[in-house]
């Protein structure tokens, strides 16, 4: 359908890597979207294309937001999916960024727009960023797992082959679309504490940026994120200390973390299992009671 993808200009890119982060199902404690936004800011990325939200969202489920400009003019902010380009110093290649919101509708058409643009820009590799809730403490570095389906990529970059089966989000659908298009893709997932899921996690964003830097063999300046992590840790620790049961639980998670060395970090499948468990429990909580059984 005309107008679904608006391209303002076509940048000249050198061996680009596409990095994607979506708010929503794939974004526990906003770890992935924080990382994507931080990369765009740090790399001085410039927007060059966007996907029109009209055909891809149920606006009763993903509502547009009203904001005030200069405290007076009302503005409607619609769910956005924007493409940016950058030439990060020391990366040795260009970067494309896709920052957006997981759509509600027409996922196959949505992903085809992304794949087609990636082909046009000669994208050589795709990296998606995700964050999920898990039994990890807020005081320790966030574990990050990298998975891929391409055997050569797994061997060369030290990744894992995912054997996960279960519900998936737009990230999973996007990886399948890139596999069909023969474009190598990598999925990075950071684990965030489930007991503080509503607080944005700069620790997860930091871990994703550091793992991405390792993946691309480039240094990413994370000084600002590191400062945010210190403040985040202090605030959460203070909040946790007010509840004795939660404080004891966090101490137990810290003891577990100290017993795990780097070779025993959670696998992609175990993190995916954590995600499945969380979604199942959340669905059970959201299911209305059976009226007949309550009478």
Distance from C-alpha of 113 to C-alpha of 104, rounded to nearest angstrom:
15
Provide the token pair at 282.
């959340």
pLDDT at 293: 34
Query: Does 85 reside within a domain?
Result: yes
Query: Does 106 reside within a domain?
Result: yes
Distance from C-alpha of 201 to C-alpha of 292, rounded to nearest angstrom:
42
Please give the tally of structural domains in the chain: 1
Give me the half-sphere count of Cα atoms (radius 13 Å) on the Cβ side of residue 285.
Answer: 6
Q: Which residues contact 75 (CB under 8 A, 6 or more apart)?
A: 66, 67, 68, 69
pLDDT at 259: 74
Query: Does 243 reside within a domain?
Result: yes
Give long-range contacts, CB 8 A cutoff, 24+ apart: 164-168: 164/268, 164/269, 164/272, 164/273, 166/272, 166/276, 167/276, 167/279
pLDDT at 274: 55
Query: Does 294 reside within a domain?
Result: no
Other Cβ atoms within 10 Å of 222 Cβ, number: 20
Query: Does 288 reside within a domain?
Result: no
pLDDT at 288: 45
Burial class (CB in 10 A: 0-12, 13-18, 19+), 286: exposed
pLDDT digits (tens, 9 = 90+) for 170-189: 999 999 999 999 999 999 99
pLDDT at 220: 94
228: CATH: 3.40.50.10900
Query: Does 189 reside within a domain?
Result: yes
pLDDT digits (tens, 9 = 90+) for 43-96: 999 999 999 999 999 999 999 999 888 777 788 999 999 999 999 998 999 999
Residues spanned by the domain of 54: 5-257+265-283
Print pLDDT tens along the chain (295 aa).
458 999 999 999 999 999 999 999 899 999 999 999 999 999 999 999 999 999 999 999 999 999 888 777 788 999 999 999 999 998 999 999 999 999 999 999 999 999 999 999 999 999 999 999 988 999 999 999 999 878 888 888 888 887 778 888 999 999 999 999 999 999 999 999 988 888 899 999 999 999 999 999 999 999 999 999 999 999 999 888 888 888 888 888 888 887 764 444 454 455 555 555 554 554 555 444 443 333 3
Provide the token pair at 96.
């494309």
pLDDT at 290: 42
pLDDT at 234: 92
C-alpha separations of 22 from 2, 49, 130, 287 in Å: 24, 16, 8, 26
Q: How many helices (H) and strands (E) does the chain have?
A: 9, 11
pLDDT at 2: 57
Query: Does 51 reside within a domain?
Result: yes
pTM of the model: 0.85
């Amino acid at each position: 359908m005309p107008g679904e993808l608006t391209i303002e200009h076509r940048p000249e890119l050198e061996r680009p890597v596409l990095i994607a982060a979506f708010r929503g199902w794939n974004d526990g404690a906003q770890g992935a979207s924080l990382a994507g936004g931080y990369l765009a800011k740090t790399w001085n990325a410039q927007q060059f294309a966007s996907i029109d939200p009209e055909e891809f969202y149920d606006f009763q489920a993903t509502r547009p937001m009203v904001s005030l400009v200069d405290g007076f003019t009302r503005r409607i902010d619609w769910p956005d999916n924007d493409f940016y380009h950058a030439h990060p110093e020391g990366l040795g290649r260009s970067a494309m960024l896709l920052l957006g919101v997981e759509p509600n509708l027409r996922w196959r058409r949505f992903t085809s727009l992304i794949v087609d643009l990636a082909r046009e820009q000669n994208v050589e590799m795709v990296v998606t960023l995700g964050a999920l809730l898990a039994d990890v403490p807020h005081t320790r570095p966030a574990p990050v797992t990298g998975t891929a389906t391409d055997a050569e990529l797994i061997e060369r970059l030290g990744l894992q082959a995912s054997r996960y089966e279960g519900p998936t989000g737009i990230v999973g659908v996007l990886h399948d679309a890139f596999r069909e298009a023969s474009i190598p893709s990598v999925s990075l997932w950071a684990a965030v504490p489930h007991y503080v899921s509503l607080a944005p996690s700069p620790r997860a964003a930091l871990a994703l940026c550091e793992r991405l830097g390792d993946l691309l063999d480039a240094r990413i300046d994370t000084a600002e994120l590191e400062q945010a992590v210190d403040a985040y840790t202090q605030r959460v620790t203070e909040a946790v200390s007010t509840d004795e049961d939660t404080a004891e639980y966090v101490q137990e998670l810290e003891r577990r973390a100290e017993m795990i060395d780097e070779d025993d970090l959670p696998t992609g499948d175990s993190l995916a299992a954590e995600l499945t468990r969380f979604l199942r429990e959340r669905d059970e909580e959201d299911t209305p009671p059976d009226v007949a059984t309550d009478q």
